[in-house]
Chain A
């Protein structure tokens, strides 16, 4: 089974020794068309490597990773979903419950996976995911430079229109692995800020200028917190 590459439980603090420290959990769901690279992205984030042979995801797979931000340990749970329409219609709904963030993935070399994003957004709204839940857009397979069908400008426009951050990346390219990390870390930072200041929960992303760029700035590329 493809699941759980990095999903093994990382050695956390012994609860018996640290009874007052509770690790916060952030739950992120990853959705998008079949074969856009959802499983590879989650593997890359949770396990650090690009899996050589991934298979079609059937139903929902789960992976997790514990990260440390500003001295706080946070458990990031990533729910990797099947892309085929029939699964999303009736099987995946259970996993939209109480999500803290949504990652939409498309394949930059396949226009249909981009144009289908609007049905994924409808899907997400249909599952009553509150508007304040952060959403990011990820264009995957950027390493296939000669095959790109979705221009960055188009993707950026779409992301802006839907109040999402856009990342273009490649789960396959080892050079990009920090960028994959940055996608998830950015969400975690955002959630961390949002949760420590509940009164800010009225907006989606903050209104100040955001790195809507296709690449994150240098700081984030080094794997630190981009926010």
Chain B
């Protein structure tokens, strides 16, 4: 297990390093000079030249790349263009809001997706199974920001059941939770479908296994078999899916945060774009990417812990 964990962590670190390389070459290759982007259209050539040398853009490419990576590894993502505060601090202030929402979306997806998948597997081929199947495909297909806007229109603007904007009063847990319901549902809705499909498929596979047949032969109740014996194994692919899912949910949270005017990483980056706060954008992208890679490594470690075959096959 230790060797497996080390190898998986090493791969994760390499991926983050390559991601930095790609980000850096994008900045370097895409036409548009960071200095003139930061200063806006009215900047004089002298101002641009001054900022260029201050940002180190006149150094050789390899020196620039080395500075970029070495300071990022030390947690120094540069300072924000407007306030002069360290980018990492600003990003870390907003991260908890986004993570709370993503966590809430995962809760929606798991609480609804797993039972729906089990029901579909048990009633395979029946009417209920078909309805769940079509609904799963439908919620996966529709983009989350359309769901977010429609939810806002229906539940907040027309019915006025739930708050339309903000993250709730600080310190008031109930109002914070109320403010979380709609955005997290918008982000998590598609994942209910994903998880339901995945659980259904792996449940059907598991129900063929020998120990389930034995349990049936012993006359255990079907419900007991499904939830205690089969689900334990059928749940494994869901752990991996959630690891990948967190990256996608970070993406959709950008929309949810803008539609519901919640604080968070997405809103931070979106506003940074309109004020051309360029170091903030790259910093936030790096932090979320690193977070995503870390979660995937964790998911793989959990799977490795649960299933020795995975450990053996990884090399």
A and B: real partners?
A: no
Residues of A within 8 A of B (CB): none
